[in-house]
């Protein structure tokens, strides 16, 4: 049983696909599309929340006099509303960007997975044809 050139090309292409896209192929095979997109969105939103809180804390420390004036003049609601709008906008932009990037990665990995499956099927057909001879 001597492998012909066509089978060697298919096996080489399979090996290259596995090597170059190992993580993407694994994620596509093991997760649902919603998880593939949703988990990065949640992670990025949590990261941005931490960054927002750190920046807000640094801003509060550096503008303490302003904050004391706001509290003494009972304009806390307006300040909290402004902070809420900023935070909501930041999270909305983060979610949209994360979704778009995850969707693009999903589409690319899905194409790689389909090519991988086609190559496996082609290799299987080649082997069946050889055994029939």
Reported as a single tens digit per residue, the pLDDT across 88-101 is 999 999 999 999 99
- pLDDT at position 1, please? 47
61-65, 87-91, 107-111: range with highest mean pLDDT: 87-91
How sure is the predictor about 133, in pLDDT bands with cuts at 50, 70 and 90?
low
With cut-offs at 50, 70 and 90, classify the pLDDT of residue 2: low
Angstrom CA distances, 130 to 3, 7, 39, 50, stand at: 9, 10, 45, 60
How does pLDDT run across 115-132, given as a tens digit for each residue?
A: 888 888 888 887 777 777
Nearest to 28 by CA among 85, 101, 95, 112: 112
Q: Token pair 């706001």 is at which residue? A: 70
Helix (H) or strand (E) holding 46: helix 33-62
Which of 26, 22, 30, 82 lies closest to 56 in space, CA to CA? 82
Whether the model pTM is above 0.85: no
Mean pLDDT of the region 101-110 = 87
Q: Are 17 and 112 in contact (CB under 8 A)?
A: yes
Q: Does the structure show a pLDDT above 60 at 4?
A: yes
């Amino acid at each position: 049983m001597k492998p012909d050139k066509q089978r060697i090309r298919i096996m080489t292409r399979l090996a290259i696909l596995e090597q170059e896209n190992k993580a993407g192929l694994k994620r596509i095979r093991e997760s649902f599309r919603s998880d593939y997109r949703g988990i990065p969105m949640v992670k990025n939103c949590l990261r941005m929340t931490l960054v927002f809180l750190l920046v807000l804390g640094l801003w509060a420390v550096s503008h303490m006099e302003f904050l004391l004036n706001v509290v003494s003049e009972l304009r806390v609601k307006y300040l909290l509303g402004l902070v809420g709008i900023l935070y909501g906008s930041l999270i909305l932009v983060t979610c949209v960007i994360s979704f778009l990037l995850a969707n693009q990665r999903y589409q690319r990995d899905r194409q790689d997975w389909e090519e991988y499956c086609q190559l496996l099927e082609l290799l299987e057909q080649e082997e069946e044809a050889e055994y029939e001879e």
